[in-house]
Structure 1
């Protein structure tokens, strides 16, 4: 079978995918989801060149730049360069208020203007505040420090990610669920809402979320699942495995029966005993997760290990591996996310309020998406080197709850929240016939 390299859309992929009917459901028996940490699409994929439809930094007609100060142009600009660091010593701000600054150039966007341009992403969002926000957060105007949030990687820096992109499907329009930090995004990804949580507060470490999660829903429908997690991750670090966000996981006993160490994943994969739904939490935030100060090379080593375990598993021929990042981590991206009354529904009606660095409150309604993040579909059942643009169904937008909506389609589940049912699904990307020439071994990461 000849490998395919193309940009996928609602029309162009129709002849390749099982867009009609339900035949694809019998081909995907195991779904594996790995959620890495805190990198934007343009940071990771900004320098890739294998497909002209990537919509990344290197394909822009002019350099992507941000002012050092959005209110004082005399301080100059910082422009994206292909010199991102293997280890970022600073962790850019990615709170709700910080992301407001990054997207709008202010902590307090004019919500009237946000709503005035619901069908024109970017009309009001400037995407010019990443550098200034970093300057505020770290009280610096040092060029090398400011470059950390806007620079990007080349294929030589990230051979593992580049190989995955060249051999499988990537998304050029996949947005985080929340323009804010890790755990609210992970909650949306696993339950379709964060129940009003807009920061990584204590509730996530004490089984404090009471909404129904995908884990509970799968159990109620007799669909097997395990949340595999690194043994150094836990409530003591403030980052429970995602299944343990939820009160149900503890009260049902699933926190004992269905949350396992990462070593068990490798054992189960080798034995062909992975459940129908596998969810993987990396360690955070020292060496596996890409989250500063995790190195890019160690993050790639971890991803390669997960891929190789799946590729050599007896279950590979019926596996769909979804790799994504929970949020952008404060790193720059040039594509504005959807906003306001375009119809981005919240998971529920609960709002969140925090105090911005200027001392004034910000209330967020969860009606805007977060920044673009790298996302891949990896399977013998997807095309090679393909780039999926805007969604072709439902909300026409890919976001973390697209995974939940896909699972709803796959296993005939009721969407958990309005955000889930709104999100585009991607079953049209599943081929009618599996590829037989799927890469067996990914390249080794590089230290630099």
Structure 2
């Protein structure tokens, strides 16, 4: 087989579902018409309803949604005690809010507010993610790419490297020393070059101590990736590990909640623009941008069944672990296949992370597959990696605009932010705990503006009566940073309604 590409570059970011990032993109299968709803008690329409909402949160409250296997079971099935196979019932995907409530109560040491719980159902407006939205619209967006495990980071990263996690469904403090073969073993055996570009943590190095390494197989991303592209020195397979540890010079750019999402946008732009600037390398390089798992954020597509990679059952040797047989996939995550050889398209083939080692092994002739999972996974080989006489080289690939990067909030800004909660017309909302997880000035500015606008709207709707203002609510129009005449009208029409104890939007 003659291949279109000599190099494959994979950037795996963290913890975002397809709907959470691309539900409002207008390309691929985003949110259903009319949106989506979860109830505080799964399946109980008499409990508080939370609807999908256009507008994501740059940072998360607490530590963000839980995405352990146990909590993912609740998100899928409404209960944490689902049988290992998940065959007791079809996933209804109605437990995201309930699961988030559990994790937030632990993080915050108090009952979370409705506005905090809403975060798990919020989905980004494309204008908030200019880099990812541009790439998704202009290249191949896979809208049926699933995590291999309905659980957290480590086992899902294990599947992109080895098509198995050898029974692990939790992060296990990153201590497992896996004994299975990996994609890197296959590349070594075939005398093909590979390189890991890391920022701080390096999951390949940590999880696979037996992989034979050469000088230059593991290098820092800074300086080295751009240099390797510029000098036409990319390996056959490159894997980029984002920054998990934050610093003023290098903020967390993995998108792992609760960190800000914008540094990850910059990382994606850095990889893309480096390739775009060197056409000779760009012509022979496939860039795959994907996410390890859903991070506990809402998605409406039911994960499909799959095959166990090696027959190893999920470990239950810790009290927090629940049974799992590895015969169903995790939730849907974003994946974009990026090359000027590809016209803008949507690919709805069912893929998973095991598609990557399976495709590399098949396309580059690296021998046998690693497990039954990558052997059975749909491959990218014929559709994308093999040469095709009908493909046309594009000269219209877009340039991307990197969003303004977050900066730390200073002491005076913190004081003003905390004070803005006392503008809230509803007394039960006047609590500085609401602002504790706001860390950057842009988020703080939006919050303060919204508080001011909400105060003015209630003032005008109540005729300046503060007691009356506290009883008004606008259930159909959430507060925004700008004063809204239609929201004032809705508030006026709500006069006489009893005050509700919950936090209002």
Interval containing the TM-score (normalised by the shorter chain): 0.7 to 0.9
> 5 Å matches for 1:69-80?
69-70=41-42, 72-80=44-52
**Which is greater in Rg?**
2
Matched, 1:88 2:47: no
Unmatched tracts of structure 2, length 5 or more: 106-110, 247-251, 406-441, 443-505
What is the aligned partner in structure 2 of residue 221 from structure 1? 190
**What TM-score does the superposition give when structure 1 sets the normalisation length?**
0.82
What is the aligned partner in structure 2 of residue 245 from structure 1? 207
Say which of 33, 57, 65 aligns to 1:61. 33
Whether the 8 Å CA contact 1:68–1:141 is kept in 2: the answer is no
Whether the 8 Å CA contact 2:168–2:315 is kept in 1: the answer is no
Partner Cα distance (1:201, 1:64) in 2: 34
What is the aligned partner in structure 2 of residue 383 from structure 1? 343
Matched, 1:100 2:60: no
Matched, 1:171 2:133: no
Partner Cα distance (2:116, 2:270) in 1: 32
Partner Cα distance (1:272, 1:105) in 2: 51
Per-residue CA shift, 1:89-109, capped at 9, x if unaligned?
Answer: 332110110100000100112
Query: How far is the alpha carbon of 1:387 from its aligned partner?
Result: 0.6
The alignment partner of 1:307 has SS state of helix
Unmatched tracts of structure 1, length 5 or more: 1-21, 117-122, 235-239, 392-396
Whether the 8 Å CA contact 1:158–1:446 is kept in 2: the answer is no
Whether the 8 Å CA contact 2:340–2:397 is kept in 1: the answer is no
Matched, 1:442 2:400: yes
Partner Cα distance (1:47, 1:415) in 2: 37
**Cα gap change, 1:375 to 1:285, in 2 (>3 Å):** farther
**Cα gap change, 1:383 to 1:427, in 2 (>3 Å):** farther
Bigger Cα displacement from structure 2, 69-78 vs 283-292: 69-78
Say which of 374, 388, 393 aligns to 1:420. 374
The alignment partner of 2:238 has SS state of strand
What is the aligned partner in structure 2 of residue 124 from structure 1? 90
The alignment partner of 2:137 has SS state of helix
Partner Cα distance (2:182, 2:355) in 1: 15
The alignment partner of 1:103 has SS state of helix
The alignment partner of 1:346 has SS state of coil
Per-residue CA shift, 1:140-190, capped at 9, x if unaligned?
Answer: 341111111111111111111111011100111110010000010000111
Whether the 8 Å CA contact 1:226–1:275 is kept in 2: the answer is yes
Query: How far is the alpha carbon of 1:243 from its aligned partner?
Result: 4.3
Aligned Cα root-mean-square deviation (Å) = 2.1
**Cα gap change, 1:156 to 1:446, in 2 (>3 Å):** farther
Query: How far is the alpha carbon of 1:426 from its aligned partner?
Result: 2.1
Partner Cα distance (2:43, 2:143) in 1: 31
The alignment partner of 1:187 has SS state of helix
Partner Cα distance (1:246, 1:73) in 2: 47
Per-residue CA shift, 1:229-249, capped at 9, x if unaligned?
Answer: 01xx23xxxxx3334410213
Query: How far is the alpha carbon of 1:440 from its aligned partner?
Result: 5.1
What is the aligned partner in structure 2 of residue 193 from structure 1? 164
What is the aligned partner in structure 2 of residue 348 from structure 1? 310
Equivalenced residue count is 388
Per-residue CA shift, 1:212-262, capped at 9, x if unaligned?
Answer: 1111110111111101101xx23xxxxx3334410213xx344x5411111
Query: How far is the alpha carbon of 1:444 from its aligned partner?
Result: 2.3
Matched, 1:211 2:187: no
What is the aligned partner in structure 1 of residue 503 from structure 2? none
> 5 Å matches for 1:352-367?
352-354=314-316, 362-367=322-327
Query: How far is the alpha carbon of 1:72 from its aligned partner?
Result: 5.0
Higher relative contact order (CA 8 A, sep 6+): 1
Whether the 8 Å CA contact 1:285–1:292 is kept in 2: the answer is no
Matched, 1:30 2:7: yes
What is the aligned partner in structure 2 of residue 270 from structure 1? 230
The alignment partner of 1:363 has SS state of coil
Whether the 8 Å CA contact 1:347–1:418 is kept in 2: the answer is yes
Whether the 8 Å CA contact 2:84–2:325 is kept in 1: the answer is no
Partner Cα distance (1:441, 1:354) in 2: 48
Say which of 366, 376, 401 aligns to 2:354. 401
What is the aligned partner in structure 2 of residue 10 from structure 1? none
What is the aligned partner in structure 1 of residue 425 from structure 2? none
The alignment partner of 1:376 has SS state of strand
Partner Cα distance (1:241, 1:61) in 2: 39
What is the aligned partner in structure 2 of residue 119 from structure 1? none
**Cα gap change, 1:165 to 1:71, in 2 (>3 Å):** closer
Partner Cα distance (2:171, 2:369) in 1: 25
What is the aligned partner in structure 2 of residue 323 from structure 1? 289
Runs of 4 or more off by more than 6 Å in structure 1? none
Per-residue CA shift, 1:266-318, capped at 9, x if unaligned?
Answer: 21111111111111100115421111122122111111011111212341111
Whether the 8 Å CA contact 1:104–1:124 is kept in 2: the answer is yes
Partner Cα distance (1:276, 1:243) in 2: 18
Query: How far is the alpha carbon of 1:124 from its aligned partner?
Result: 1.0
